[in-house]
Amino acid sequence: MEKQEHHNDFEALCAGYVLGTLSASEVAEFEKALQNATPEQQQLLEEMNVVRDEMALASGFERPSPAVEESIFTAISEDKPASAPVKSTGNVIPLWVYKAAAAILLIGALSLGYLNFGLTDTVAEQQVRITELQTELERQNQLLNVLAAREITVVMMGGLDPSPDGYGKIIWDTDNRQAVLQLANLPAPPEENDYQLWLIKDGQDPISAGVFTFEQPSIDLFFKVEQLAEDPSPVSNAFAVTLEPKGGMPQPTGDMFLLGAQE
């Protein structure tokens, strides 16, 4: 059998090329084939080069699992003619040897791909957790900033009929016009609704102080009140929480869940 007949399999020649075991004529033949290679074949060469480099940098050898070994040697035995000798003649390496190398490199490529995918998932999960912790830290800092004010106004809000066990608290730094809202024992709002906080001064029309939402029933949730840029009334200040359409309303339209006045 001629060399051309032995080495006409691109995948096998690719493995020999990557491992540097092809003869000069085979290298020339493979490089000529590369000029007309499909994108899939070019990707195969790139992946085999990556696996070869990773194997070279590996700290030690790890024996493959019995199942992997069996699949490799089964593929080899099926491809190798029954009468073919194990050793080659002259400089010609039998095609089944290259196919074995190709199988090992492909398994390595799949393993590296799976590992990289797993690492990507892990990094993404850690980034989500870091973002959550940063958000929580920011909320804690906001609360501390308000509590550190020289003078603060605290307004307690009790639950009404829609949620009688509900509880709310406004911690208001009136000098710097910033506040923190604490909510507890309120049901999560429907997807199409938000809770809205209102400031009511001297019994006048309510002033919106922002909208708030959460996905689970509230248990001591804290929110920075972004829109409470109002000076308190020297006579009467009350706060209320209502359920409004998503994004809030200019004036209350929904059920009132919490209500409380400055003592």
Lowest mean pLDDT among 16-25, 77-86, 130-139, 145-154: 77-86
pLDDT at residue 126 tops 90: no
Highest averaged pLDDT of the listed ranges 168-172, 218-222, 247-251: 247-251
pLDDT at residue 240 tops 90: yes
Axis crossing angle, helix 95-147 with helix 39-57, rounded to the nearest 10: 80
pLDDT digits (tens, 9 = 90+) for 3-27: 444 344 677 777 777 777 677 888 8
Return d(Cα 218, Cα 83) in angstroms, integer: 76
pLDDT at residue 35 tops 60: yes
Which residues, 6+ apart, have CB-to-CB distance to 77 below 8 Å? none
Which pLDDT value is given to residue 24? Answer: 82
- Compute the average pLDDT of residues 63-91: 50
Nearest residue to 215 (alpha-carbon basis) of 194, 188, 246, 183: 188
Both tokens of residue 61? 């050898």
Which pLDDT value is given to residue 7? Answer: 40
Domains of the chain, earliest start first: 3-120 (no CATH), 153-261 (2.60.40)
Which pLDDT value is given to residue 14? Answer: 76
Return d(Cα 168, Cα 144) in angstroms, integer: 18
pLDDT at residue 56 tops 90: no
Lowest mean pLDDT among 73-87, 136-150, 174-188: 73-87
Which pLDDT value is given to residue 37? Answer: 85
Lowest mean pLDDT among 48-57, 111-120, 130-139, 167-176: 111-120
Nearest residue to 101 (alpha-carbon basis) of 188, 184, 165, 11: 11
pLDDT at residue 107 tops 80: no
Lowest mean pLDDT among 44-48, 127-131, 141-145, 244-248: 141-145
